[in-house]
Amino acid sequence: MRVPPTGDSPRRSTRSGPSRRTLLAAAAAAAAVPATGLAVSQATAAPPRSADRPLADPDLGPNVIFFDPSTPDIQGRLDQIFRRQESAQFGTGRYALLFKPGTYNGLNAQLGFYTSVLGLGLSPDDTHINGDVTVDAGWFDGNATQNFWRSAENLSLSPVSGTNRFAVSQAAPFRRMHVRGNLNLAPSGYGWASGGYIADSRVDGTVQPYSQQQWYTRDSSIGGWLNAVWNMVFSGVEGAPGQSFPDPPYTTLDTTPISREKPFLYLDGAEYRVFLPALRRNARGTTWGGGPQGESLPLSDFHVVKEGATAASINAALREGKHLLLTPGIYHVDAPIVIDRADTVVLGIGYPTIIPDGGVRAMTVADVDGVRLAGFLLDAGPENSDVLLEVGPEGSSAGHEGNPTTLQDVFIRIGGAGPGKATTCMVINSRHVLVDHTWVWRADHGDGVGWETNRCDYGVVVNGDDVLITGLFVEHFNKYDVRWNGERGRTVFFQNEKAYDAPNQAAIQNGDLRGYAAYKVADDVGEHEGWGMGSYCYYNVDPTIVQEHGFATPTGPGIRFHHIMVVSLGGQGQYAHVVNDHGGPTSGTDTIPAKVVAYP
């Protein structure tokens, strides 16, 4: 059932410079979609440790905090960290809160910036909280559009009120979670929220987006879905609403073409291990209901990276054949981290942040099978890097269909925490790469922000063939946000905003075209497909700017776009068309999408 938005007008915040985005206001409440009666998973919990057999926790640095059900004053410790992180949007604190298998009563884990809460069971049901994992927006006057960089993973919850609140925007995944109740994605007061991501999760009740602009849910099970505002996308979701774009704007794929869940740390008896979920094709539903499929590595196979580590020490561990566990912290590197061995795992917990110094690249990956990158943030340094993350060197051509490189919850930022520059954030040269949830962001607020101050021309450039991206969030780049040059590329869900701070029409002129498309498929590409894609403009420096289109693509029998749209936020700039010269234009001061159901 669609819940129409109210007629409240957009407003602007005065915090930290211009507001993150202008949104439709809160959606009116309505009856929930009837639940489908999904059964609760009965996975067996790992046995709790006995009091006479203490477990030695590994040293993962001072900001990895372990809890078990006997830990005293868990709530007090959670509250202390939340007070520190609640409004620290560009602060230096990083935290991973690790809950050992067992049952915890009466907790409310409120998540601030750069905070991850993670269960340590093999199944989410191994670690159960009779309570909540909460994200709200009190710190920002009820506006959730800047609730970035936090995560909840591998837990089950019985919310106190029957509904857990997780009001987030970008870079805030909800993975391997079991909510024994409802899940509310809006802040209290139903203020603005600008989209997020769920994967490999079960919600027994109803997911309630309310004022969320857009959302992507993958390979999960839900009891129902309440409403849609602009763009709700589902792939492989049991209980998802039927496809109905444009009204209501649901894009529903029965399965996800290819998926592989994020690696995770877990406790196997007295031993810490990392589980590597198996690759799935045409996936649907969670991986863990009948026991996860994949392989397990001992923590001893990993080099534990803690603050103070250098590029030299990290690369030395990689050359010795170690995987990497990046612990919470900020890491300056004076040379790229080089991943050149097949099947290497780089797993971050608690939003470890890598900053390249002196204009070097942050990380490079060889053209090899099965590399897994997950759970970290790359933050541009003040000297321009040509590329921050390169997956495969230029000219890569080897096939990796049976064991692709995967990127999950890998986020990239240009500016905001201080001046940062790059020419391109992420370049994918290898074939068959799977990117699952990324937010690549040129900052529109914070420190070191300006058209030339945090210059970055391109967000994501895909040169490799047969690349699939599920959950692609890319925003505010000076030229193309996404440029796709490889064949047979596919994107399931795309969320974009054009750069707010373009000074005038001339600054974004692209030859004869007014502006660079948010998503550009190269003119010589013969096969490409996308589902559930949106681009928004808010040219608040010069509201007279006209953007020719959100999407640019060649046409032909191998090119297919499904359910795409453009929006002018509050009439600050306009789109002339949705895709090429088709669809649109956006309309004056109305924040109403121009939509195209299918192209060509």
Q: Catalytic one among 153, 390, 475, 497?
A: 497
SS3 content of the chain, % helix, strand, coil (to 5): 5, 40, 50
Residue 182 phi, psi (nearest 5): -100, 165
Instruction: Give yes or no for a contact between 241 and 250, defined as CB atoms under 8 angstroms apart.
Output: yes
Instruction: Give yes or no for a contact between 207 and 185, defined as CB atoms under 8 angstroms apart.
Output: yes
Instruction: Give yes or no for a contact between 208 and 226, defined as CB atoms under 8 angstroms apart.
Output: yes
Q: Which residues are CB-contacts of 490 (< 8 A; sequence separation ≥ 6)? A: 257, 467, 468, 469, 528, 529, 530
Q: Is the backbone of residue 429 left (phi > 0), alpha (psi -120 to 50) or beta?
A: alpha
Helix (H) or strand (E) holding 582: none
Q: Can you tell me whether residue 316 is helix, strand or coil?
A: helix
Q: Which residues are CB-contacts of 79 (< 8 A; sequence separation ≥ 6)? A: 110
For 396-419, give one letter per residue: b (16+ CB within 10 A) or e. beeebeebbbbbbbbbbbbbbbbb
Instruction: Give yes or no for a contact between 145 and 19, defined as CB atoms under 8 angstroms apart.
Output: yes
Q: Is 497 designated active site?
A: yes
Long-range contacts of 456-459 (CB under 8 A, 24+ apart): 456/380, 456/414, 456/421, 456/422, 456/423, 456/424, 456/425, 457/423, 457/424, 458/423, 458/424, 458/425, 458/483, 459/412, 459/424, 459/425, 459/426
What distance lies between CA 92 and its chain's CA centroid? Answer: 20
Q: Can you tell me whether residue 467 is helix, strand or coil?
A: coil
Cα separations in angstroms, 538 against 496, 535, 572:
11, 10, 5
Q: What residues are annotated to the active site?
A: 497
